[in-house]
Chains A and B, each alone.
Chain A
Amino acid sequence: MDEITAWFNGIKEDFILNFIQGDRWKLLANGLLATLKITFFAALLGIAIGIIIAAVRSSHDKNADKLKGVGGFILKLFNGIAKVYLTVIRGTPTVVQLLIMYFIIFASSNDKLLIAILSFGINSGAYVAEIFRSGIMAVDEGQNEAGRSLGLNYFQTMIYIIVPQAFKTVLPALANEFIVLLKETSVAGYVGMMDLTRAGDMIRGVTFSAFMPLIAVAFIYLIMVLILTKLVSLLERRLRSSER
C-alpha cells in the first residue's frame, strides 16, 4: 500500500514540477497555439496551392492531345513548372525545406511563424495537389461530357460537376494529409519556433524530468488528431447523406 502511495506522490510531484511550478503549463499552451496556427494556415496555403497545381496538371493531362497555340504552350509551361515543384518538394525532407527557407531564402527575416507557415504550406501543397488530381481524374469522363454537352465551358464543368464529386472521393486522403501536417509541424523547433514539441522539450531541459512533459506532448497531439478525425467523419457522413 505504501508503495502505491509513494508512486502516486512521485507522479504528483513530477506533475507539479513540470507543469505547475513557474507556470510551465503556459509553455505547453503557447506551444500548442503555435502548432495550431502553423497547421491551420499551412493547411489553407496547401489547399490553395494544391487546387492550382491540380487544375494545371489535370487540364494538361486531359487535353494532352489537343494542345496548340499560345494557350497550349502556356499550359505546357505551367505543367512543367508544377512537375518540378512536385518533384522537389516530395523528393526532399520537410526539415531540410524548413531549414533552407529559414537560413537561405528568408535569411534576412526573423518572422519564424510566417516562415514556418510558408514552408509547411508549400510542402503540404504538393501532397494536396496530387490528392486533388487523383480525385479529379477518378471522376467518370462521362460526367465531363455531360457537362460540356449542355454547353458549360471547361471551368463551369469543373466547378459545378467535377470538383464536388472529386472532393467527396478525396476527403479521407485529404484528412490524412492534414493529420500528417499537424504532426509534421513538430520539426518547427529546428528553426527556433516555440511549438508544442519544442515547449515540451524545453520543460524537460529545465526540470531534467523527461517522462511527464514528453508524454503530455504526445497526448495533446493524439487528442488533436482524434478531434480532426471526428470532424472529418462527421463531414463525410453529411456529404454521403446528401445522396439519399
Chain B
Amino acid sequence: MSGNPLIKVTGLHKIYGDFHALDGVSIQIEKGEVVVIIGPSGSGKSTFLRSLNLLEVPSLGTIEFEGVNITDEKVDINVHRQKMGMVFQHFNLFPHMTVMRNLTLGPMKLLKMSKKEAEANALELLERVGLADRANTYPSMLSGGQKQRIAIVRALAMKPDVMLFDEPTSALDPEMVGEVLEVMQKLAGEGMTMVVVTHEMGFAKEAASRVIFMDEGKMIEENTPAEFFAHPKTDRCRDFLSKVLI
C-alpha cells in the first residue's frame, strides 16, 4: 500500500433528481495533508465531504480509502468509518449522554476498549482541549464552542486516520470561533490528515497545505494557500474571494 494516497476519489458524481450536486470530482489526498475546501453555498463542497465517508452515497465514481474501494457495495463501510472522524456544523453531540459517555461510546462498542481504558483515553483528549472538568456534564450545559471542541475529541477518540470537518465554525457565535480553530490548528500541526469545508479564510491561509475552490459541483481551482489567495487563476474564484476577503 505504500505510495498510495490515503484517499483517492475518481470521477465522483452526485445527482439529486435533476440537480447535479457533484459533477465529476477527482482528487487524491495524501497522508498528513490539510485540504481546505472553499466555495459558495450550493457549490457541492459539503456534499463532497459527506461523500468521503458515504453519508452521501455517490451516484457515480469511486472513493478509495487506504487502498480499499469503499464505494463497492460489498465493503462494510462501518469498519472504514471508524477510521474517518467527522465533525459537523451543528456538533450533533448525543444530548442524553454525559460528555464522557459521548467520548467513550464509540471506543467501547467498536474498538472493544474496556471502560477504564476508554475513559482514561477520553480524559486525556478532554485535557488537550481544556475541558477535562466538563467530563460529567451533559451537552445542554455547554457553550457552542465547548460543544464543538467535544465533538472534535469525540471523533479523535476513535483514533481516526483522517478527520473530516463540515463547516465546523459556521454555527458558532463569533467569539467562539477562535477556540475551535485553535484546536483544529493544533491538530493540523500534529500531522493529522484533515479535509475541511469552511468559510474561515484565515484558517485556510495558516493551516492548509492545499486549498481547493469548488463551484457548481466541480473543483475549479486548487493551489497552495499562498498562491491561491495571492494569485487566483479563474474569474469565478477571484470573484468569490473578492466577496469573502474584505
Q: Which A residues are closer than 8 A to B by beta carbons?
A: 66, 140, 142-143, 145-153, 156, 160-161, 164-165, 168, 242-244
Specify which chain A residues have a CB less than 8 angstroms from the CB of B138 in the assembled complex: 242-244
Specify which chain B residues have a CB less than 8 angstroms from the CB of A142 in the assembled complex: 88, 90, 92
Give 12 new A-B contacts, CB below 8 A, not counting A140-B92, A146-B88: A145-B86, A146-B151, A148-B55, A148-B81, A149-B86, A149-B155, A151-B78, A151-B80, A151-B158, A156-B109, A243-B96, A244-B140
The secondary-structure label for the interface of chain A is helix
Q: How far is the CA of A153 from the CA of B76 in the complex (A)?
A: 10
Indicate whether A145 sits within 8 Å of B96 (C-beta atoms), given known contacts A151-B78, A156-B109.
Answer: no
Specify which chain B residues have a CB less than 8 angstroms from the CB of A140 in the assembled complex: 92
Specify which chain A residues have a CB less than 8 angstroms from the CB of B90 in the assembled complex: 142
Count residues of B near A (Cβ-Cβ below 8 Å). Answer: 29
Specify which chain A residues have a CB less than 8 angstroms from the CB of B151 in the assembled complex: 146
Specify which chain A residues have a CB less than 8 angstroms from the CB of B158 in the assembled complex: 150-151
- A-B complex: 4 closest residue pairs judged by Cβ atoms: A151-B82, A146-B92, A149-B86, A142-B92
Q: Which of B109-161 contact A (CB under 8 A)?
A: 109-110, 138, 140-141, 151, 154-155, 158
Specify which chain B residues have a CB less than 8 angstroms from the CB of A152 in the assembled complex: 78, 105-106, 109-110
Q: How far is the CA of A165 from the CA of B92 in the complex (A)?
A: 13
Q: Which of B49-71 contact A (CB under 8 A)?
A: 53, 55, 57
Nearest CB of chain A from residue B69's CB, rounded to whole Å: 18
Nearest CB of chain B from residue A123's CB, rounded to whole Å: 31
Specify which chain B residues have a CB less than 8 angstroms from the CB of A165 in the assembled complex: 95-96
Q: How far is the CA of A142 from the CA of B90 in the complex (A)?
A: 8
Question: Does B82 contact A161, Cβ atoms closer than 8 Å?
Answer: no
Nearest CB of chain B from residue A145's CB, rounded to whole Å: 6
Proximity bits, B81-98, A CB within 8 Å = 1, else 0: 110111010101111100
Question: Does B81 contact A242, Cβ atoms closer than 8 Å?
Answer: no
Max chain A CB contacts within 10 Å: which of B85, B106, B151? B106
Nearest CB of chain A from residue B113's CB, rounded to whole Å: 13
Q: Verify if B79 is at the interface (C-beta below 8 Å from A).
A: yes
Specify which chain A residues have a CB less than 8 angstroms from the CB of B92 in the assembled complex: 140, 142-143, 145-146
Question: Does A149 contact B109, Cβ atoms closer than 8 Å?
Answer: no
Specify which chain B residues have a CB less than 8 angstroms from the CB of A156 in the assembled complex: 109
Q: How far is the CA of A66 from the CA of B151 in the complex (A)?
A: 28
Q: Which of B147-194 contact A (CB under 8 A)?
A: 151, 154-155, 158
Residue in contact with B96 in the complex, picked from A151, A168, A244, CB distance below 8 Å: A168
- Listed by A's residue number, 30 A-B pairs whose Cβ atoms lie within 8 Å are A66-B57, A142-B88, A142-B90, A145-B55, A146-B94, A148-B55, A148-B81, A149-B53, A149-B86, A150-B105, A150-B106, A150-B154, A150-B155, A150-B158, A151-B79, A151-B80, A151-B82, A151-B106, A151-B110, A151-B158, A152-B105, A152-B109, A152-B110, A156-B109, A160-B105, A160-B109, A242-B96, A242-B138, A243-B95, A244-B138
Nearest CB of chain A from residue B136's CB, rounded to whole Å: 12
Specify which chain B residues have a CB less than 8 angstroms from the CB of A66 in the assembled complex: 57
Q: How far is the CA of A149 from the CA of B155 in the complex (A)?
A: 9
Residue in contact with B82 in the complex, picked from A143, A150, A168, A243, CB distance below 8 Å: A150
Q: How far is the CA of A164 from the CA of B97 in the complex (A)?
A: 10
Q: How far is the CA of A143 from the CA of B80 in the complex (A)?
A: 19
Specify which chain A residues have a CB less than 8 angstroms from the CB of B140 in the assembled complex: 243-244
Specify which chain B residues have a CB less than 8 angstroms from the CB of A153 in the assembled complex: 78
Q: How far is the CA of A149 from the CA of B88 in the complex (A)?
A: 10
